[in-house]
Amino acid sequence: MTFGKRIKELRESKGLFLREVGAALELDNAFISKVENGERLLPRKHIEKLAKFFNTDINELLVLWLSDKIIELLLNEPVAEQVLKISQKRLRKDENKN
C-alpha cells in the first residue's frame, strides 16, 4: 500500500473531506488530493501531525512514506535492486553495532 492510499483510506473511514485534512495540516485541498493520488509526497514534518489527527500509529505512516520516497528516488534506475540490497546489508551491519 502507498502512503497516499493509506491517507485516503483513513480519511474516508472517518467520513472526512479533503478540506478537513488540509485544514489540520494547514495545506491546500488540491495538495492533499495529489498526496492521496500519489502525485506528490507530503513533507515529512507533517507526518506526526497527521498521525495524531487520524489517531493512528506514526510508525505505520512513516514506513509507508519512506517507502514511497525510496521508490520515487529509485523508480527508473536500472541498478535499483542492487542499491536496495547493498543498503539492506549496510543497515543490518549498523544494527549489529548498536
Kindly list the averaged pLDDT for each block of 10 residues, start to end, along the chain of length 98: 97 97 96 97 96 97 97 95 95 78
Determine the structural domain holding residue 41 and report its residue range. 3-97
Give the separation between CA 45 and CA 11, rounded to whole angstroms: 19
The three cell numbers of residue 58 are 506514526
> Which are the contacts of 92, defined by CB distance < 8 A and separation ≥ 6?
none
- pTM for this one? 0.87
What's the structural domain count of the chain?
A: 1
55: domain CATH number is: 1.10.260.40
Helices and strands (H, E) in the chain, number of each type: 6, 0
Question: What per-residue confidence (pLDDT) applies to 97?
Answer: 72
Q: Is-contact 64 2, C-beta < 8 A? A: yes
